Amino acid sequence: MIKTRLTEKFDIEHPIVCAPMALVCGGSLAAAVSAAGGLGIMGGGYAGTVGDGPGLEEQYRMAGNTPIGIGFITWAAESNPDAVDWAIAKQPKCLFLSFGSPKALGAKAVDAGVPLFCQCQTMAHVREALDAGACVIVAQGAEAGGHGGQRSTLPFVPEVADLLAKRYPEVLLLAAGGIADGRGLAASLMLGADGVLVGSRFWAAEEALTPPAAAARAIASDGDQTVRTTALDSLRGVPWPAEFSFRVLRNRLMDEWAGREQEAAADFGALKQSYNEARLRGDLDVAATIVGEAVGLIHAKMPAAGIVSGMVAEAEAALGRGARLLG
């Protein structure tokens, strides 16, 4: 059993947190991770109106009585703060914010006594999150799937750890980006993290909302087949802040457009309709398969509980091997 400040503060068995992946981590996956001894966080994504389609309320109900957190894309949630109010009213295990200043929305969580997790991609983001009252900082490296920044996990996490130890020793740290097995968990703990945030590995969990064809394509791929670009957001007409790019598997569309960011930006939204149609019909030559470099460590779909237990066992073994190096 690996005990850290994270497991103690949040009364969980294992220092593993499931990322609140939009359209992937619904109530079932979040609850499965929490039931397995980690902390599951449901993805509120772009904070669509509560109740639309498979909306937030419906997904939250699927978690049953299992305690979970709720996360949002910050810049999008700012235009629909009612969704954040809804989430806070549920008194979740945490409110998770990423991609944008957490100051306004984070204050709501802090005032309501809901722990605030802030995912950060730069040291400037870290300082913003601390000013907003975050009790957990997630240092996300560029290896991550989906949106992120340019810093790499290996140097970014200990730099954040040093800052927190020196000035904010009560604030916890999670490592994110490229972590999909117990070796990544063990390494993150050695870098100074209190736990890990895992996205891509849970993306391929049986309880995830990931389309089966996308999961199959990812399982057959390796990390060399991912690409990070801003072109995809421009083409599909989603106004992401310029500092964040998007890591996805290469496909026909990305082979054509990756590296042509300026052209795509000049033709913003040109493929919005055709892209959405491709996504709805499951055309993976156009629609993105959203995973990180750790895709090469994913060899099969598994129940979330098996992913958690496997990571913990691997981490314990890795830490034991490290101890033996000391003689």
Q: What is the CATH number of the domain that holds 102?
A: 3.20.20.70
In this structure, is residue 214 part of a structural domain? no
Count Cβ atoms within 10 A of the Cβ of residue 185 and give its class: 0-12 exposed, 13-18 middle, 19 or more buried. buried
Domain that holds residue 267: 222-290
Q: At 139, is the secondary structure helix, strand, or coil?
A: strand
In this structure, is residue 217 part of a structural domain? no
In this structure, is residue 75 part of a structural domain? yes
Question: Does one domain contain both 253 and 314?
Answer: no
In this structure, is residue 203 part of a structural domain? yes
Question: Does one domain contain both 273 and 312?
Answer: no
- Report pLDDT for 51: 40
DSSP 33-55: HHHTTSEEEEE-TTTPPTTSSS-
In this structure, is residue 215 part of a structural domain? no
Say whether pLDDT at 293 is over 90.
Answer: yes
- Report pLDDT for 48: 59
In this structure, is residue 295 part of a structural domain? no
Helical segments of the chain, H only: 5-9, 27-35, 56-61, 74-77, 81-89, 103-111, 123-131, 153-167, 182-190, 200-203, 212-219, 231-236, 252-257, 261-266, 272-281, 304-324
Question: How many CB atoms sit inside 10 A of residue 85's CB?
Answer: 13
Question: Does one domain contain both 256 and 138?
Answer: no
d(CA 153, CA 266): 31
- Whole-prediction pTM value? 0.96
Question: Does one domain contain both 17 and 163?
Answer: yes
In this structure, is residue 216 part of a structural domain? no
Mean pLDDT score, 127-146: 98
Question: Does one domain contain both 108 and 256?
Answer: no
- Report pLDDT for 55: 82
Say whether pLDDT at 248 is over 70.
Answer: yes
d(CA 102, CA 222): 34
Q: At 304, is the secondary structure helix, strand, or coil?
A: helix
Question: Does one domain contain both 131 and 245?
Answer: no
Question: Does one domain contain both 134 and 21?
Answer: yes
Residue with tokens 């830490």: 319
Say whether pLDDT at 49 is over 60.
Answer: no
Q: What does the pLDDT look like over 11-24, one tens digit per residue? A: 999 999 999 999 99
Question: Does one domain contain both 236 and 305?
Answer: no
- Six-digit token string for 266: 């000049």
Question: Does one domain contain both 26 and 75?
Answer: yes
Q: What does the pLDDT look like over 83-107, one tens digit per residue? A: 999 999 999 999 999 999 999 999 9
Q: Comparing 55 with 204, which gets the higher pLDDT? A: 204
Question: Does one domain contain both 104 and 239?
Answer: no
- To the nearest whole number, what is the mean pLDDT of the chain? 95
In this structure, is residue 58 part of a structural domain? yes
Q: How many domains does the chain have?
A: 2
> Residue 205's beta-bridge partner residues?
302
Question: Does one domain contain both 127 and 248?
Answer: no
d(CA 260, CA 280): 25
d(CA 95, CA 218): 29
Question: Does one domain contain both 114 and 169?
Answer: yes
